Amino acid sequence: MADAGEEHGARHQGRQQEVRADVSVDVVPGPQSPRPGRLVDTFGRIATDLRVSLTDHCNLRCTYCMPAEGLPWLAKPQMLSDEELLRVLAVFVGLGVTQIRLTGGEPLLRPRLPELIAAITSLEPRPSIALTTNGLGLAAQATALAEAGLDRVNVSLDTPDRATFAALTRRDRWEDVVSGLAAADAAGLHPVKVNAVLMRGVNDHQGLDLLHWCLERGYQLRFIEQMPLDAQHSWAREQMVTAEEVRRGLSEQHTLTPVPGRGSAPAETYLVDGGPATVGIIASVTAPFCAACDRVRLTADGMVRNCLFARGEADLRGPMRDGASDADLIRLIRGEMWRKARGHGIGDPDFTQPTRPMSAIGG
Ligand code: SAM
Ligand code: SF4
The CA distance from 119 to 53, in Å, is 16
pLDDT value for 15: 32
Q: Is the CB of 211 under 6 A from ligand 2?
A: no
Q: What backbone phi and psi angles, to 5 degrees, belong to 297?
A: -130, 150
Average pLDDT, the chain: 89
The CA distance from 290 to 196, in Å, is 21
Instruction: Give the side-chain half-sphere CA count within 13 A for 108.
Output: 21
121 CA → ligand 1 middle, Å: 25
Pairing relationship of beta strands 152-156 and 192-196 according to DSSP bridges: parallel
Task: Give the tens place of pLDDT for each residue, 16-52.
Answer: 333 322 233 333 334 444 445 799 999 999 999 999 9
CA dihedral of 138, 143, 145, 146, whole degrees rounded to 10: 130
User: Residue 209 pLDDT more than 70?
Assistant: yes
Taking a C-beta distance cutoff of 8 angstroms, is the pair 235, 209 a contact?
no
Please count the other Cβ atoms lying within 10 Å of the Cβ belonging to residue 158: 26
Q: What whole-number percentage of the chain has pLDDT above 70?
A: 90
The CA distance from 125 to 96, in Å, is 9
- Across 191-220, average pLDDT: 98
Q: Burial code of 74-96, b = ≥16 C-beta within 10 A, e = fewer?
A: beeeebbebeebbebbbbbbebe
Length of the chain, please?
363
- Angle, CA 296 vertex, CA 195 and CA 97 arms, to 5°: 100
Please count the other Cβ atoms lying within 10 Å of the Cβ belonging to residue 336: 25
The CA distance from 332 to 80, in Å, is 16
Q: Where are the beta strands (DSSP E) in 10-164?
A: 39-40, 46-47, 49-53, 99-103, 128-133, 152-156
Task: Give the tens place of pLDDT for each residue, 162-180.
Answer: 999 999 999 999 999 999 9
Q: Is the CB of 360 under 6 A from ligand 2?
A: no
pLDDT value for 97: 98
pTM of the model: 0.90
Q: Measuring from atom 17 of ligand 1, which residue has the nearest CA?
A: 363
Q: Is 355 exposed, middle or buried (0-12, 13-18, 19+ CB in 10 A)?
A: exposed
User: Residue 73 pLDDT more than 80?
Assistant: yes
Task: Give the tens place of pLDDT for each residue, 226-266.
Answer: 999 999 998 998 899 999 999 999 999 999 999 987 776 77
- Across 77-92, average pLDDT: 98
pLDDT value for 262: 72
The CA distance from 242 to 224, in Å, is 9
Q: Measuring from atom 5 of ligand 1, which residue has the nearest CA?
A: 133
Which atom from ligand 2 is nearest to the alpha carbon of 61? 6
Q: Measuring from atom 10 of ligand 1, which residue has the nearest CA?
A: 363
Cβ < 6 A, ligand 1 pocket: 58, 64-65, 103-104, 106, 132-134, 156, 195, 197, 224, 226-227, 229-230, 358-359, 363
Task: Give the tens place of pLDDT for each residue, 112-135.
Answer: 999 999 999 999 999 999 999 999
73 CA → ligand 2 middle, Å: 13
- Across 131-148, average pLDDT: 98
Q: Is the CB of 66 under 6 A from ligand 2?
A: yes
Instruction: Please report the domains of the chain, with CATH numbers, ordered by start residue.
Output: 10-361 (3.20.20.70)
CA dihedral of 283, 287, 293, 297, whole degrees rounded to 10: 50
Smallest Cα–Cα separation from 135: which of 149, 156, 166, 163? 156
Task: Give the tens place of pLDDT for each residue, 302-355.
Answer: 999 999 999 999 999 999 999 999 999 999 999 999 999 999 988 787 888 988
Smallest Cα–Cα separation from 38: which of 52, 53, 54, 26? 26
CB-based contacts of 277, cutoff 8 Å, min separation 6: 215, 271
Smallest Cα–Cα separation from 42: which of 56, 28, 62? 28
Q: Measuring from atom 1 of ligand 1, which residue has the nearest CA?
A: 106
Ligand 2 pocket test target in 53, 59, 60 with most atoms within 8 Å of CB: 60
